[in-house]
Structure 1
Amino acid sequence: MGNDSALIDTLLRQLSTAFKIRDLGTPHFFLGIETVPYGDGLILSQRRYMKDILKRAGMTDCKALATPAAVTQSATPSLTPFENPTQYRMIVGALQYLTITRPDLSFSVNRLCQFMHSPTDDHWGLLKRVLRYVKGTQEYGLRLSLSPSSNLHAYTDSDWAGCPVDRKSTSGYAVFLDTNLVSWVSRKQRTVARSSTEAEYKGLADVSAEVTWVVSLLRELGLHSGTPATLWCDNLGATYLAANPVFHARTKHVEIDYHFVRDKVAAGDFIVSFVSTKDQLADIFTKPLPAPRFQALRDKLNELLVVASL
């Protein structure tokens, strides 16, 4: 990477003396991801890959749906094993790769992955719903545009005890480099949280680790602005805990995460701020949402999901 074309060309010539390389120029299609020019940036699209997934699942002509997960349907294990678990694992694995450019699928795909070992007919039904949503959003992709600055900010959220099977919480976060979404995740927590504050604080610790890595990468590239990253959390308890130097006895069970985040805040690396649940963008990564709420959050993620004219 660099902004000096002459220096980059010199480096490529030097590398070509030792290795057999070929400069393919501007990327257009790489590892199933297509780059489409769009305004002052580009869109990363996997439209061809989506069509291939639908074909493999035999759902090319299925009816489209507005959301990938139903609000009222629970992912509880049934007693009827799915007759073709290999097909289930193959398609879910393909959907995992699709989340590279489709963050709106992260929660639903993460939930499907939790039943890889023994999928049932109910889980196959959940998978088919995700595919029906993909059917209606094949023109969507991840938008990247020029950024006026390299400031970092992130949203983090957790759905406390949201899993009906083991009552573990699901955490999600979205990390932005100025206006561009650069990192996101939807993941079930490893342990059962004893309070909503604990669940939110564990999510805060996860996004703190991710932002720390992004900052180190930006510093290595010489692109870090030096401005502390802002972490937005919609839980006042977790927000106060990050700023309070006094450790409360009732939070001993989150001591490791507490010290990690607290040290970052004390060092001035992060600023933890409160954001209302209405404006919490990471909510899309933690639970099924009604169609209006889901689509509003999807669009608010920097308008990252836009119709691509391919």
Structure 2
Amino acid sequence: MWKTGNYGLKPGTLQFQRKKRKDLRGMQKYSSVAPKAWFKRLHDFLISTGFSASKTDVSLFYYSSGTSKVFLLVYVDDIIMMGDDSALVDSLLLRLSTVFKIRDLGTPSFFLGIETLPVDGGLVLSQRRYMSDLLVRASMTDCKPLATPESVTQAVTPADEEFDNPTQYMRLAGALQYLTITRPDLSYAVNRLCQFMHTPTVEHWGLLKRVLRYVKGTLDYGLRIAPSPSTDIHAFSDSDWAGCPTDRKSTSGYAVFIGSNLISWVSRKQRTVVRSSTEAEYKGLADVSAEVTWVVSLLQELGLHSGRPATLWCDNLGTTYMCANPVFHARTKHVEIDYHFVRDKIASRDFQVNFVSTKDQLADIFTKPLPSTRFAALRSKLNVVSLQPCA
């Protein structure tokens, strides 16, 4: 059995107690130096204890003893430690307590605003308290819920009438970004809202309120994680073409799975205008290739990689041909060189790119507004589930 714990470290043991300072320059200097010194002190101690620092993720440390493994993840002065040997975990905690004042909070139930709620065969990561707080801040606790965060008929365009409280718009849109940590179904809608942070209009405020109305109706939803019989990596990549009516740039999205668990996702506008749907899909595939490369690197470092090539799924035949066939040079001379690293990954057998039909493309939810039935189906396939039993 894995033993997991949430532990609070006390920076005061390193004499980094926060004090009120009248000198602003002194405060700025303190705020930049203290966290670095605190992390370095913790880092050096963990290394001396036998932990190894991950080169892929600087906040992650791991410890191996025979067949046993312990992982330690740091966020400021909070850590999560987990391992498959309870005695080893306890001994490492004892050594940690000799240098730092620590408080064992037990099995993580609430960490960085995210609840871990046990369900049959796994757990659900939920931010329902955070969502409720958002609705209070927006004065929308009694609003009428909606089935989707985006309308399929209303395009987001710049308008003339500016919103009279842009600060409120910025704060709520920024807060919604943190919510996408456990709610991939909100990624596309929140990404579009954040594109208008600089000059929000009345229309944009209405779209933000629509997202909050969807949040109201899905307060009990979260991201489900469960044991998987497979540890193979597979990812879905999708892009629209010239979907933004303002600058005609495309939107890309991807979803990365380890076995049956969703671990990474993105919805973002591409940096440049593309000349075809194939080029838009190819650039999206390059983005997910970079993410999968990072995931593979992390798993290899931790000794958890299956060794089998990752599978990338794309619903554009032209893109799948372009990835493997350099004969298409004449059609891709205008594509930036950095996107062609996908071909190198395929040639080295790190990846394989397969075609998937549009109806089975899970990343479709990250690139465009969808009807409620299609949206709900894809949301379920991304493991976003309700904690309430179905009637």
TM-score of Structure 1 vs Structure 2, range by shorter chain:
over 0.9
Which portions of structure 1, spanning 4 or more consecutive aligned residues, are displaced by more than 6 angstroms?
none
CA deviation profile, 1:162-208 (whole Å, cap 9, x unmatched): 00000000000000010000000000000001111110000000000
5 Å matches for 1:131-170? 131-170=212-251
Q: How far apart, CA to CA, are the structure 2 residues paired with 1:30 and 1:170?
A: 32
Q: TM-score, normalised by structure 2?
A: 0.77
CA deviation string 1:7-57 (max 9, x = no partner): 222222222222222222200111111110011110011111111101110
Matches within 5 A, 1:142-221: 142-221=223-302
User: For residues 68-147 of structure 1, what are the structure 2 equivalents within 5 Å?
Assistant: 68-147=149-228
User: Could you list the runs of 5+ residues in structure 2 that have no partner in the other structure?
Assistant: 1-70, 72-82
How far apart, CA to CA, are the structure 2 residues paired with 1:99 and 1:212? 22
1:211-240 CA-partner distances (Å, limit 9, x unpaired): 000111111111100010000000001101
Partner amino acid for 1:44?
Answer: L
Q: How far is 1:150 from its partner?
A: 1.3
TM superposition shift of 1:104: 0.3
CA drift at 1:254: 1.9
1:15 to 96, 106, 125: 96
1-side partners of 2:340 and 2:167: how far apart?
A: 43
Amino acid aligned to 2:118: P
Per-residue CA deviation, residues 219-272 of structure 1 (Å, 9 max, x unaligned), is: 111110001000000000110111114351220122424431000001111010
- d(CA) in 1 for partners of 2:254 and 2:288? 6
- Can you give the 5+ residue segments of structure 1 that lack an aligned partner in the other structure? none
Q: Which has the larger radius of gyration?
A: 2
Q: Which amino acid aligns with 1:102?
A: R
Q: CA RMSD in A?
A: 1.2
Indicate the percent of aligned positions where both proteins have the same amino acid: 77
Determine the C-alpha separation between the residues in 1 that align with 2:92 and 2:337: 45
Q: 2:372 corresponds to which residue?
A: 291
Whichever residue aligns with residue 15 of structure 1, its letter is L
Report the AA paired with residue 136 of structure 2.
Answer: K
Bigger RCO (CA 8 Å, 6+ sep): 1
Q: Distance in 2 between matches of 1:103 and 1:264?
A: 27
Q: Give the Cα separation in 1 of the matches to 2:339 and 2:146.
A: 41
Contact 1:201 1:257 in 2 (8 A): no
How many residues of Structure 1 are paired with residues of Structure 2 in the alignment?
308
SS at 2:102's partner residue? coil
